[in-house]
Amino acid sequence: MSPDGDWDGLDDADVASSEILPIELQLTPDVCGVRLDKVLSTLVPQYSRSRLQQWIDGGHVSIDGEVAKGKMTVYGDEKVIIAPQPAPEDQAFAAEAMDLCIVHEDAAIFVIDKPAGLVVHPGAGNWSGTLLNGLLHYSPALSGVPRAGIVHRLDKDTSGLMVVAKTLVAQTDLVRQLQARTVKREYLALVWGTPNVSGKIDASIGRHPRDRIKMAVSENMTAKPAVTHFTRLATGALDGRPVSLMRCQLETGRTHQIRVHMQSIGFALVGDALYGKPHLTPVFPRQALHAQRLGLIHPVSGKACEWSSVLPQDFADLIARAGIAAP
Average pLDDT, the chain: 89
Q: Note the pLDDT tens digit of each residue in 119-161.
A: 998 876 777 889 999 999 999 999 989 889 999 999 999 999 9
Contacts with 4 (C-beta within 8 Å, 6 or more apart), sequence order: 119, 120, 123, 126, 153, 155, 156, 157
SS3 99: coil
Closest CA to 82 of 22, 41, 34, 31: 22
pLDDT band for position 89 (cuts 50, 70, 90): low
Which one has a higher pLDDT value, 285 or 48?
A: 285
DSSP alpha helices (H): ranges in 48-150?
49-57, 131-138
Which positions are annotated as active-site residues?
155
Give φ, ψ of 149 to 5 degrees: 85, 0
Average pLDDT rounded to a whole number, residues 221-234: 95
pLDDT at position 195 is 96
**Residue 14: per-residue pLDDT:** 30
- pLDDT beyond 90 at 327: no
Q: What is the pLDDT of residues 202-227, one digit of tens each?
A: 999 999 988 878 999 998 888 999 99
pLDDT value of position 3:
35
- Residue 87: what pLDDT? 60
pLDDT tens-place string over residues 245-262: 999 999 999 999 999 999
Q: Who has greater pLDDT, 298 or 280?
A: 298
> How many alpha carbons fall within 13 Å on the CB side of residue 265?
19
pLDDT at 19: 41
pLDDT value, residue 10: 30
Give the containing element (helix H, strand E) for 25: strand 23-26
Q: Are strands 61-63 and 159-165 parallel, antiparallel or unpaired?
A: unpaired
146 close to 261: Cβ distance less than 8 angstroms:
no
Q: Are 151 and 141 in contact (CB under 8 A)?
A: no
Give the separation between CA 173 and CA 197, rounded to whole angstroms: 35
- What share of the chain has pLDDT > 90, as a percent? 76
Better-scored residue on pLDDT, 327 or 98: 98
CB-based burial of residue 21 (10 Å sphere; 0-12 exposed, 13-18 middle, 19+ buried)?
exposed
Rounded CA-CA distance 151/265 in Å is 29
pLDDT tens digits along 34-86: 999 999 999 998 888 888 998 999 999 999 999 998 789 999 999 999 998 87
pLDDT in tens, 162-197: 999 999 999 999 999 999 999 999 999 999 999 999
